[in-house]
Amino acid sequence: MKITDIQVIPFTIRRRPFRNGELLAETTITQTLTKILTDEGAEGYYFGGSGHGDMDGMSPEQAAVLTGRLKNLVLGQDPFDREKFWHWMWTAHRIPENLMSVLDMALWDLQARLFNLPLYKLLGGCRDKVKAYASTYPNMGSPQDYADHAKACQREGYTHYKIHPYYFWDPQTGQPDRGRPSHIKQDIEVCRLVRDAVGPDMVLSYDPWGTYRTYEEAYKVGRILEELDFYWYEHPMPEYRVAPYEKLCRELSIPILSPEIVEGSIYSRADWILRGASDMTRIDVLRGGVTGVKKMAAIAEAYSIKCEIHMSGFANLQLLGSTSEDVCEYYERGLVAPGIDCNEVPPYLDALGDPLDDEGYVHLSQEPGMGYRINWDYIKENSL
């Protein structure tokens, strides 16, 4: 079997974005479907490739890399030779990490579809349901709004709630604050009110997304999180400064979960582990594809640390199904906020990818490949 083509199909969807505490008017955005074709009729697919999870489509410039440079790299090759391609792409000069990941994932989807297996079974099945946490939007409103929302998520079945606090936004004035990325007084108030609202038994975690510009800010908030019995402290400072993370890991008892978004896939993350700059590691499928995440989970397991998967999405969930809870524990569901319906099926699919039960688990699709049930009529009618 040989690869004969790579296509990227852009199409439109309608979405209401959430920003700074409110749902905005519905707008049209572009989603993309990457499609790999072979001379024997087998095909592989991947939705998205840019932004959060698999919900955000690639730009025309990104799509051009896939249908140009990357297509030329693998055209005429055996689609099962993913490991070879993975090394080729890392050896090649400056291929964007998310784009090499899209190619890798579409190839994994192709083989799992051909074998009529869900991807997690092809990877080595370990579980068919995964504990989920509600992961909030930032700037979700007042501290009390966070507390009320956390309680609502607890009633819905979630057993774990992650706070994204205030980013470049002043919660007192309700206005953007571009020169002040963090407001730790209100951040701490959010954490205290949420813990009071949900009680001692709900797992809580915290992600200021690198907005603490000084070690002192990160340390001060970390001490409060320890007092409130939060599970992890994610990406507190900019990740291009590794030494402060080494110090924070030494000084705090709460596990530091990082790096979250730094480039370099397994190579960067392995270095952070060896330097003592993270107590738990973090990766997602846009940072090395399915191949990269499986490698990182194995590295983490060897060092007896958690490898928590970043972001929602079909591929991330399939990878979780192929790993032990002792290594990769939680699925990040969302982003969530008041008025956001995470149970709404995207119009280009016929089924939700991560349905939540009343015990806080999401269940893996048993469809072949990534688990997509694709609405081809919608894509055709809304293609650009």
Q: What is the pLDDT of residues 358-373, one digit of tens each?
A: 999 999 999 999 999 9
Mean pLDDT of all residues belonging to the chain: 96
Torsion sign across C-alpha atoms 7, 102, 341, 262: negative
| Type and span of the H or E element at 216 | helix 215-227
* C-alpha count within 13 angstroms, C-beta hemisphere, residue 132: 33
pLDDT of residue 108: 98
Residues paired with 206 in a beta bridge: 163, 233
What is the per-residue pLDDT across 333-362, written as a single tens digit (0 to 9) for each? 999 999 999 999 999 999 999 999 999 999
Q: Is the pLDDT of residue 64 over 90?
A: yes
52 falls in which pLDDT band (50, 70, 90)?
A: confident
Residue type, 266: I
* C-alpha count within 13 angstroms, C-beta hemisphere, residue 158: 26
pLDDT of residue 180: 86
DSSP-assigned states of every residue in 151-193: HHHHHHT-SEEEE---SSEETTTTEE-TT----HHHHHHHHHH
> Residue ranges of the domains in the chain?
3-117+376-381, 122-363
Q: Are 342 and 316 in contact (CB under 8 A)?
A: no
The Cα 165–Cα 188 span in angstroms is: 9
The Cα 127–Cα 201 span in angstroms is: 24
Q: Is the pLDDT of residue 282 over 90?
A: yes
Q: Is the pLDDT of residue 179 over 90?
A: no
What is the per-residue pLDDT across 210-247, written as a single tens digit (0 to 9) for each? 999 999 999 999 999 999 999 999 999 999 999 999 99
Multiple choice CATH, 3-117+376-381, 3.30.70.20, 3.40.50.720, 3.30.390.10, 3.40.50.920? 3.30.390.10
- Overall average pLDDT of the 129-151 stretch: 97
53 falls in which pLDDT band (50, 70, 90)?
A: confident
pLDDT of residue 23: 86
What is the per-residue pLDDT across 295-330, written as a single tens digit (0 to 9) for each? 999 999 999 999 999 999 999 999 999 999 999 999
Q: Are 319 and 123 in contact (CB under 8 A)?
A: yes
Multiple choice CATH, 122-363, 3.40.50.280, 3.40.50.300, 3.20.20.120, 3.90.1150.10? 3.20.20.120
CA 343 to centroid of chain Cα atoms: 17
Q: pTM of the prediction? A: 0.97
Any alpha helices (H) in 3-142, and if so which ranges?
60-65, 71-74, 82-91, 97-114, 119-124
DSSP-assigned states of every residue in 342-367: TTPPPTTBSS-SS-B-TTSEEE---S
Task: Flag the least confident range among 3-7, 151-155, 163-167, 180-184.
Answer: 180-184
> What is the pairing mode between strands 27-38 and 43-47?
antiparallel
The Cα 46–Cα 35 span in angstroms is: 7
Work out the number of other CB atoms within 10 angstroms of the CB of residue 170. 14
The Cα 127–Cα 361 span in angstroms is: 11
